[in-house]
């Protein structure tokens, strides 16, 4: 059975890809960005966690000992609380900001590597189709939503399995917390948490690598074109075949008119005799070699012969020379050296006929 004209069976053309990209639609995996950001965050925390712990410990001690609440609890006001929490914010930011910046830069780099540099305003425009309840239900129950749900379940399973495995191996250390100080226990918990975060990040990166392939396949499938779309695009790029045919016909007619207007300057017309005709001009002491004034095949050849006869221009029948001239020469070009002798013989014949 023949495929329907509405089936998207054709690969997207370069123009379709450019138009799709202009709209901000590119193949990318959000899971890859989030997985790498998670891995980088816990990786940097794991590398610098000792300094992180010291900074947080010092900050906590300072805030508890020097706070307005600890020193003057009976006179706490809303203004003092605002100042207190503002101090906490500005003290914590310098500690966590470097880790956040590293993660954000890593995520941005991964995003650019996937999509290339692009600045799209199309996505910022309001689209009322997105708030249509019917379209919303279609998206909820679409195959894409089912796939995303399946992916989410897999990620939850991965997270739970790694968390269980990590905590199972660290539980013996946690039991011994009753024999150590709070700082040591806190450091141990953070170290175990960071290690678990790194393992989760690596697992999600492996999962995201598969998602990248899926997103690429889905994107290529979504931007496929129907045969009719390909035809319409070709018309836009190359023009309507009927219009192009009329343009070519007009160009041929104008070219023929120009040739006929210049035909009186020719010295001789070499013919096939039926299929080819080439008009040559040779002016002694002016032209270095004979020049092609006009040439034509079939109908045009007959018109050249007819016009030459009306003008009294010599017509010489020479099949091989006529074919060679037609194939090797363009209008207003000199004949090639290999035809000099043959044309010289023809010109000598013409001059003798004129002077006879």
Query: So what's the pLDDT on residue 80?
Result: 66
Judgement on whether residues 181 and 277 belong to the same structural domain of the protein: no
Q: Give 142 or 253, the one with higher predicted confidence.
A: 253
Query: So what's the pLDDT on residue 102?
Result: 83
Across residues 256-282, what is the average pLDDT?
87
Please state, in angstroms and rounded to a whole number, the distance separating the CA atoms of residues 22 and 10. 21
Across residues 43-49, what is the average pLDDT?
74
233 within domain boundaries: no
Environment class of 57 (CB within 10 Å of its CB; exposed 0-12, middle 13-18, buried 19+): middle
Kindly report the CATH number assigned to the domain that includes residue 270.
Answer: 3.40.1690.10
Judgement on whether residues 187 and 274 belong to the same structural domain of the protein: no
Q: Could you tell me the pLDDT band of residue 99, with boundaries at 50, 70 and 90?
A: confident
Judgement on whether residues 179 and 89 belong to the same structural domain of the protein: yes
Is residue 278 pLDDT above 50, yes or no?
Answer: yes
Judgement on whether residues 167 and 272 belong to the same structural domain of the protein: no
Please state, in angstroms and rounded to a whole number, the distance separating the CA atoms of residues 267 and 244. 36
* Bond before 345 cis per omega within 30 degrees: no
Asked if 28 contacts 115 with a C-beta cutoff of 8 angstroms, the reply is yes
Is residue 120 pLDDT above 70, yes or no?
Answer: no
180 within domain boundaries: yes
Judgement on whether residues 142 and 38 belong to the same structural domain of the protein: yes
Residue 273 belongs to what domain range? 252-355
The winner for highest mean pLDDT among 46-50, 158-162, 182-186 is 158-162
Task: State the maximum Cα–Cα separation within the chain, in Å, rounded to a whole number.
Answer: 137
159 within domain boundaries: yes
Judgement on whether residues 153 and 278 belong to the same structural domain of the protein: no
Across residues 279-298, what is the average pLDDT?
88
Judgement on whether residues 97 and 210 belong to the same structural domain of the protein: yes
Domain boundary among 206, 224, 242: 224
Judgement on whether residues 65 and 169 belong to the same structural domain of the protein: yes
Least confident stretch, 16-20, 153-157, 206-210, 303-307:
16-20
- What is the percentage of the chain residues whose pLDDT exceeds 70? 76
Is residue 108 pLDDT above 50, yes or no?
Answer: yes
**Angle at CA 159, nearest 5°, toward 114 and 98?**
60
Across residues 22-47, what is the average pLDDT?
81
**Angle at CA 121, nearest 5°, toward 117 and 126?**
145
Across residues 6-20, what is the average pLDDT?
81
Q: Could you tell me the pLDDT band of residue 145, with boundaries at 50, 70 and 90?
A: confident
Query: So what's the pLDDT on residue 3?
Result: 46
Judgement on whether residues 194 and 297 belong to the same structural domain of the protein: no
Across residues 290-307, what is the average pLDDT?
88
Please state, in angstroms and rounded to a whole number, the distance separating the CA atoms of residues 138 and 150. 18
Asked if 300 contacts 286 with a C-beta cutoff of 8 angstroms, the reply is no
Q: Give 99 or 303, the one with higher predicted confidence.
A: 303
117 within domain boundaries: yes
Is residue 347 pLDDT above 60, yes or no?
Answer: yes
Query: So what's the pLDDT on residue 2?
Result: 43
Structural domain tally of the chain? 2
* Average pLDDT taken over every residue of the chain: 78
Judgement on whether residues 308 and 191 belong to the same structural domain of the protein: no
How are strands ordered across the β-sheet holding 276-281? 291-297, 276-281, 268-271, 314-317
Bridge-based pairing state of the strands 314-317 and 291-297:
unpaired
- pLDDT digit string, tens, across residues 238-256: 666 676 777 778 877 887 8
Taking CA atoms, 64 is separated from 57, 95, 226, 322, in Å, by 11, 17, 69, 107
Angle between helices 299-311 and 241-262 (to 10 degrees): 20
6 within domain boundaries: no
Query: So what's the pLDDT on residue 96?
Result: 77
- pLDDT digit string, tens, across residues 186-236: 677 777 777 888 888 888 888 888 888 888 888 888 888 888 888 887 777
Measured from the Cβ of residue 292, the count of other Cβ atoms closer than 10 Å reads: 22
Please state, in angstroms and rounded to a whole number, the distance separating the CA atoms of residues 278 and 151. 74
295 within domain boundaries: yes
Judgement on whether residues 214 and 264 belong to the same structural domain of the protein: no
- pLDDT digit string, tens, across residues 154-164: 888 988 888 88
Is residue 136 pLDDT above 70, yes or no?
Answer: no
150 within domain boundaries: yes
Judgement on whether residues 260 and 159 belong to the same structural domain of the protein: no
Please state, in angstroms and rounded to a whole number, the distance separating the CA atoms of residues 221 and 8. 8
203 within domain boundaries: yes
């Amino acid at each position: 059975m023949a495929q329907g004209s509405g089936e998207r069976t054709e690969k997207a053309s370069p123009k379709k890809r450019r138009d799709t990209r202009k709209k901000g639609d590119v193949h990318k995996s959000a899971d890859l960005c989030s997985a790498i950001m998670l891995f980088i965050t816990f990786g940097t925390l794991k590398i610098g966690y000792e300094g992180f712990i010291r900074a947080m410990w010092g900050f906590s001690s300072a805030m508890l000992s020097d706070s307005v609440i600890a020193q003057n609890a009976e006179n706490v006001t809303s203004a003092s609380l605002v100042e207190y929490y503002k101090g906490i914010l500005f003290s914590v930011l310098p500690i966590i900001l470097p880790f956040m910046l590293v993660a954000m830069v890593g995520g941005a780099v991964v995003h650019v590597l996937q999509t290339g540099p692009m600045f799209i305003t199309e996505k910022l425009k309001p689209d009322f189709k997105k708030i249509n309840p019917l379209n919303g239900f279609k998206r909820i129950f679409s195959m894409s939503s089912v796939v995303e749900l399946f992916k989410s379940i897999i990620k939850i399973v991965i997270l739970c399995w790694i968390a269980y495995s990590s905590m199972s191996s660290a539980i013996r250390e946690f039991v011994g917390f009753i024999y150590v100080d709070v700082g040591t226990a806190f450091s141990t918990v953070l170290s175990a948490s960071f290690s678990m975060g790194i393992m989760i990040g690596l697992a999600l990166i492996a999962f995201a690598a598969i998602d990248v392939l899926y997103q690429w396949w889905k994107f290529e499938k979504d931007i496929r074109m129907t045969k009719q779309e390909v035809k319409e695009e070709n018309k836009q790029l190359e023009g309507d075949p009927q219009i192009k045919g009329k343009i070519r016909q007009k160009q041929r007619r104008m070219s023929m008119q120009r040739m006929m207007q210049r035909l009186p300057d020719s010295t001789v017309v070499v013919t096939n005799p039926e299929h080819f005709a080439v008009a040559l001009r040779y002016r002694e002491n002016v032209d270095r070699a004979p020049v092609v004034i006009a040439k034509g095949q079939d109908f045009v050849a007959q018109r050249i012969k007819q016009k030459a006869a009306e003008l009294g221009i010599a017509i010489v029948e020479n099949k091989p020379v006529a074919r060679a001239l037609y194939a090797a020469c363009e209008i207003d070009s000199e004949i090639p050296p290999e035809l000099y002798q043959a044309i010289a013989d023809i010109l000598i014949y013409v001059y003798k006929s004129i002077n006879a």
